[in-house]
Structure formats: structure tokens, C-alpha cells
Amino acid sequence: MSIANDKKKIVILGGSYGGISTAHYLLKHAVPKLPDPKSYQLVLISTSLQTMCRPAAPRALISDAMFPQDKLFVSIPESFAQYAPGSFVFEQGTATALDHENKTVSVLLTKSDDSTSDEVKIAYHALVISTGASTPSPLLGFTRDETALKTSWVAFRIALAEAKHIVVAGGGASGVEVAGELGEHLNGRAGYGGARILPYLRPAIAETAEMYLAKLGVRTLHNTRVTAVVPAAAGTEEVAANATLTLDNGETLRVDLYIPATGAIPNTTFVSETLRCPDGRINTDASTLRVVGAGERVYSIGDASSAARPAIHNIASMVPVLCANIKRDLLLAAGQSAQAAGNDRIFKEDTRETQLVPIGRSKGVGAAMGMKFPSFLVWLIKGRDYWLWTTGNLWSGKQWTKES
Ligand SMILES: Cc1cc2nc3c(=O)[nH]c(=O)nc-3n(C[C@H](O)[C@H](O)[C@H](O)COP(=O)(O)OP(=O)(O)OC[C@H]3O[C@@H](n4cnc5c(N)ncnc54)[C@H](O)[C@@H]3O)c2cc1C
């Protein structure tokens, strides 16, 4: 089934936690309840053909033996084969321009030989922007697609076998996790630099994290920033390159490997600046998840959206709210009365201290819903397999069997 038909398109951009969950939920609970459901088609577009358990990247990058690869990477089209023919289409491609005035999105489609073909322009009836965010290091998610990610892992692993001194930059959970995994793997040859370690967690928990890192041989540099990297592509385009790092305290470090795990950059450059916040995220109404100023039936969820802090638990609690509001707007557009369509559902972010951070293969720190968790519990819930136990139901849509 192609997109060349006159069905009303519900277009979702980005095939990860936000996009895949929204697609399953709409196909199960919204589209069947619209008048004439067959006149709609859900179109999911993603740069990657597969989806992945992204939190597992800090350990997965070390070796394919760390996780069952068929659980780590899952085919998006196969996850949606369960729906009626014609109701769903997956296209591998990259959104390049959103024309929200004329309600079209331009997409550069990827051909089966991995090259890109001409751009197609898709007219949407409703649009969900869930293109997430990319890290400066390509080792930590899909900066392009699964082929590019796996190629970068292969190059990194070859260099890792010889590496003696590694620097990880970045004070967030991913930086700490990467440093912990590499520290354990190398048994004391990783270094780690961050301006402020684990800022989402209280200082006492961050101090415990630092103690665990030290036991793995990881040295933490405080209030230190990398100001220059030579060659400039080390850690980004060239994941296996030796580098010379200049720090803002004047120190110079020669390192075998450099991993910039500093802040993620939203994948939103295809959207007009008028719809973006200064930090690059899509300006989203934090209650209704509609994009501010984008016209009717445009929404955003996940790391691309300004609605909440980027985290999977926030996405999971946004999905039912977002989909209820999309369903309401689609019913209204189909001529149903406001009474029949119902009221908006309102999202409210749970801002309590919540973050679990494994440190190596047996320890961890963190808190959930404001409660500090002991190391063992962090290991049990996350450190054992970095959430891989949760993604099966998410990708297959089973998590969304019931309307919630
Ligand atoms: C190393 C690491 C560890 C993490 N650990 C945790 C954790 O333990 N717990 C937690 O809650 N969160 C964690 N996070 C954050 C979590 O991964 C994100 O919140 C989550 O992945 C966001 O999902 P998303 O759907 O918004 O987008 P992403 O996961 O960023 O995916 C975006 C998708 O859109 C595609 N795409 C990008 N641009 C385009 C385009 N122009 N057109 C079409 N497709 C496009 C990409 O290929 C990708 O498939 C971690 C992040 C990292 C990097």
C-alpha cells in the first residue's frame, strides 16, 4: 500500500517512543471510532527502518554480545503488520520541510539500496511531530538510521580494543552511564568530564554516583568544559579518532577516544523557526500537546516537543492525552458536534525527581517519584538490561491494548 491515494492522512514523523506509541494508540482507539474509518490512513515516516531501545546504547555500543540484537532493534513495518491493509503505511525517509500554512510536509524517501530519492510532498489532515533529538556523539542513537549507528559502533569497538585513555564529556545521565560502562569494560581507563554531574538528581545522589564511578577507575572533572577538540570531527563524524582536548581550566588532554555526551539537539530544523522555542524544541501547548501557531491538527510529543522534560516516562503518560485530543479534533473535523467530540484532555507533567542511572553492570543511583532508590533496585529495574524488558510491548503496541 502506498501513500498515493486520496485518504485523509494522519502523518506521524519519527519512529521511536513518541511516534510508534502514538501510531498504535490512534490505530487502536481513535481511527476506528471516526465516521468512515476507511477514509483515513496513518502514515508513519522515519529516517530509520528499525526502532531501538535507546537507553541501552551506553552498554550496547561496547559489543553485540551485551544484548539480544533482535530485541534491541525491531522492525517498524513488522510491528504494524497487524493492522488492516490500507489503514497504515510506513515510509523510510526524512522530513525536510513543513509548510504548515498549506498543510504539507516534504519527505526525502530512502530507497532499498539506502540511497535517497526525490522529495515527495505529503498533504496531511493531521500531523504529529515526534522526531526526537540527536546527541553530538552518533554512538547514542539514530543520528541517521540503524545502518549508520551500527557502522559507528563497529569503528568505535575496533579503536576501543587499543584505547588506554577515554574522555566522556557531559554531565547528564547518558554521560555518566557511558563512563560507567566503559570504566567497567576497561577496568580503570576512562575519564569523565562534566560541568555538573546528574543535575536532575539531588546532590547527595550525584555524589554516590561519583563514588561508584571512581571505583570503576573513572576520574570525574568538575566544572570543566571541553573548549576545543582537534581534529574537530573527533567524537562526532569520526568516532574512533585520537583527539587533543583543550579544557576551560587550561589543561590539555591527549585521548585515544572522545565521546561528547553533552546535551541533545532537537531534530526540528525542517520546521519554521516561528514554531520553535529558542532551544530548538517545537513550541507545544504543555496541556493539550497541540503545536502553538501551526494551524489545526498539528501536535508534538517526545524529545522534539517543549511540553515536558525529555524522558520516556513523560512520553508514556502523554500518549493517551495526545491521542484523545487528536481523536476529538478529528471528530470535529468530520462534522461531529462539540458535545459528541467531548472536551480536551489535559496533560500534567509529573515533575518529581525521577531518574535511574546504572553505573557499570552491578551498581546504580537514582530516584523515582521523589524517592531515592538503593543501588540494587536501580540495577534490578534498569541496570540489568537497560529497560529492554519494557520495549517488547511498546513496539508491538500491546502496551496500548486498552484505552487509558
Ligand atoms: C544514551 C541515552 C540514554 C537514555 N536513557 C533514558 C532512560 O533511561 N530513561 C528515559 O526516560 N529516557 C532516557 N533517554 C531519553 C530517551 O531516549 C528519549 O526521551 C526518547 O528516546 C525520546 O523518544 P522520541 O520518540 O521523542 O525520539 P527519539 O528516540 O529521539 O527518536 C526520534 C526518531 O525520529 C527519527 N527522525 C529524526 N529526524 C527525522 C526527520 N526529519 N524525519 C523523519 N524521522 C526523523 C529518528 O531516526 C528516530 O527514529 C536516554 C537517551 C539517551 C541518548
175 lines ligand 1 (CB under 6 A): no
8-135+264-351+389-400 and 138-263 agree in CATH topology: yes
Which atom of ligand 1 sits closest to the CA of residue 107? Answer: 42
148 lines ligand 1 (CB under 6 A): no
In the chain, the percentage of residues whose pLDDT exceeds 70 is 97
How do strand 243-247 and strand 226-230 relate by DSSP bridges? antiparallel
Q: Which distant-in-sequence residues (6+ apart) come within 8 Å of 292 by Cβ?
A: 275, 283, 284, 285
Q: Report d(CA 231, CA 242) in Å as an integer.
A: 8
Paired strand residues for 216: none
Q: Which distant-in-sequence residues (6+ apart) come within 8 Å of 303 by Cβ?
A: 18, 132, 133, 264, 266, 281, 310
**What pLDDT was estimated at residue 331?**
98
**What pLDDT was estimated at residue 136?**
94
State residue 247 phi and psi, 5-degree precision: -100, 160
CA of 171 to the centre of ligand 1 (A): 18
Confidence of residue 138 (pLDDT cuts 50, 70, 90): very high
Residue with the smallest CA separation from ligand 1 atom 18 is 311
**What pLDDT was estimated at residue 187?**
73
Query: Does the pLDDT at position 262 exceed 90?
Result: no
CA of 325 to the centre of ligand 1 (A): 23
Cα(first)–Cα(last) distance of the chain, in Å?
30
Alpha helices, DSSP H, located in 251-402: 312-333, 338-341, 375-378, 388-396
Query: Does the pLDDT at position 98 exceed 90?
Result: yes
CB 307 within 8 A of CB 347: yes
Which atom of ligand 1 sits closest to the CA of residue 131? Answer: 34
Residue with the smallest CA separation from ligand 1 atom 1 is 174
**What pLDDT was estimated at residue 376?**
96
Query: Does the pLDDT at position 100 exceed 60?
Result: yes
Which superfamily, per CATH, for 8-135+264-351+389-400?
FAD/NAD(P)-binding domain (3.50.50.60)
**What pLDDT was estimated at residue 257?**
96
Confidence of residue 292 (pLDDT cuts 50, 70, 90): very high
305 lines ligand 1 (CB under 6 A): no
Query: Does the pLDDT at position 309 exceed 70?
Result: yes
Q: Report d(CA 209, CA 359) in Å as an integer.
A: 7
State residue 391 phi and psi, 5-degree precision: -85, -20
Query: Does the pLDDT at position 115 exceed 90?
Result: no
Extract the runs of DSSP E, i.e. beta strands, from 279-368: 298-300, 355-359, 363-368
17 lines ligand 1 (CB under 6 A): yes
**What pLDDT was estimated at residue 224?**
87
Cell matching residue 349: 507533567
List pLDDT tens digits, range 62-90. 999 999 999 999 999 999 999 999 999 99
Q: Report d(CA 55, CA 50) in Å as an integer.
A: 15
Q: Report d(CA 264, CA 266) in Å as an integer.
A: 7
98 lines ligand 1 (CB under 6 A): no
CATH label, 138-263, candidates 3.40.50.150, 3.50.50.60, 2.30.42.10, 1.20.1730.10: 3.50.50.60
Confidence of residue 191 (pLDDT cuts 50, 70, 90): low
Residue with the smallest CA separation from ligand 1 atom 12 is 311
CB 373 within 8 A of CB 189: no
270 lines ligand 1 (CB under 6 A): yes
* Torsion of Cα atoms, 196 then 201 then 204 then 208, to 10°: -80
Q: Report d(CA 85, CA 167) in Å as an integer.
A: 50
Number of H helices, E strands in the chain: 11, 21
| Sequence letter at residue 259 | I
| Sequence letter at residue 264 | A
Q: Report d(CA 251, CA 226) in Å as an integer.
A: 10
Which atom of ligand 1 sits closest to the CA of residue 313? Answer: 11
| DSSP summary character for residue 22 | H
Going by C-alpha positions, the residue among 207, 202, 199, 143 that lies closest to residue 174 is 199
| Average pLDDT over every residue of 257-286 | 96
Query: Does the pLDDT at position 1 exceed 80?
Result: no
How do strand 40-46 and strand 88-99 relate by DSSP bridges? parallel
25, 130, 131, best to mutate for ligand 1 pocket (most atoms within 8 Å of CB): 131
**What pLDDT was estimated at residue 299?**
99
303 lines ligand 1 (CB under 6 A): yes
**What pLDDT was estimated at residue 220?**
87
Instruction: Flag the least confident range among 31-45, 111-125, 160-174.
Output: 111-125
Question: Domain spans of the chain?
Answer: 8-135+264-351+389-400, 138-263
**What pLDDT was estimated at residue 211?**
92
58 lines ligand 1 (CB under 6 A): yes
| DSSP summary character for residue 28 | I
**What pLDDT was estimated at residue 382?**
96
List pLDDT tens digits, range 354-383. 999 999 999 999 999 999 999 999 999 999
CA of 315 to the centre of ligand 1 (A): 10
18 lines ligand 1 (CB under 6 A): yes
19 lines ligand 1 (CB under 6 A): yes
Q: Report d(CA 264, CA 242) in Å as an integer.
A: 23
List pLDDT tens digits, range 229-243. 999 999 999 999 999
CA of 263 to the centre of ligand 1 (A): 13
Residue with the smallest CA separation from ligand 1 atom 5 is 55
| Average pLDDT over every residue of 257-283 | 96
Confidence of residue 249 (pLDDT cuts 50, 70, 90): confident
**What pLDDT was estimated at residue 114?**
66
CB 211 within 8 A of CB 180: no
In the chain, the percentage of residues whose pLDDT exceeds 90 is 85
Q: Report d(CA 188, CA 181) in Å as an integer.
A: 11
Query: Does the pLDDT at position 388 exceed 60?
Result: yes
